[in-house]
Amino acid sequence: MKRYYFICDDKDSRGRIEVELNKHGIIKPSVRILSKEDMATVSDEQFHNIAPILKQDIAHGVLINTLFGALAAVLILTIGYITRLPDSYTWTPFYLFAITIFGFVSWSGSFYGFQVPKKDFRRLQKDLDDGKHIFIIDVESSQQEIIRQMEYEYPYLIDAGTDSVRPRWISMGQKNFKDSSTTTFP
């Protein structure tokens, strides 16, 4: 699968484009809109938007700081080994302090992640700041002709590049979960 990014600044055409893509067989979880404004105030349920928390790079911040936390924990245990303090007392304070520092440093990475846009969206940040909307469309190789046709029918869409994408079974799982949950719990 391949991910396409398109920049659109026409508010009225967003819904038409998404409906058109759905008619051509591109399922709803594969079409998302990234925008600075709150989409709940702009439209009804026809849009599949990116949640605000997913626009931030929280997971990346935690992963980077987990590495720093592990290094700090190893440093604490190394200091205990070099100073030989555990021989006269016990290793328990060093273990507890190392675990606490590891957890704190890893947790603090999420605060860094809240301040930084997600890695995939950083190159689009200027357009988002200008009030434009980004269509993110995940398609299979057999559906790429639909994207070319869409580019022809909507010339005001600006191609913002492509990227690799999650496997198809994840998109289909999201669709099937939503379908089954809405029919089971109306």
Distance CA 174, CA 23 (A): 18
Length of the chain: 186
Per-residue pLDDT, averaged over 136-150, amounts to: 84
- The torsion angle over the Cα atoms of residues 131, 26, 149 and 1, rounded to 10 degrees, is 90
Residues 109 and 140 in one domain: no
Determine whether 57 is exposed, middle or buried from the number of CB atoms within 10 Å of its CB (0-12, 13-18, 19+): buried
Q: What pLDDT is attached to residue 149?
A: 86
**Within-domain flag for 146:** yes
- Which residues constitute the domain of residue 29? 2-52+135-184
**Within-domain flag for 122:** no
Residues 37 and 62 in one domain: no
Q: What pLDDT is attached to residue 79?
A: 95
**Within-domain flag for 106:** yes
171 pLDDT band, cuts 50/70/90, is low
Average pLDDT, the chain: 81
User: How many domains would you assign to the chain?
Assistant: 2
Nearest to 65 by CA among 134, 113, 136: 113
Residue 1, amino acid: M
Residues 98 and 67 in one domain: yes
Residues 6 and 44 in one domain: yes
**Within-domain flag for 120:** no
pLDDT in tens, 44-77: 445 567 777 778 888 888 899 999 999 999 999 9
**Within-domain flag for 126:** no
pLDDT in tens, 109-136: 888 888 888 877 888 888 888 888 888 8
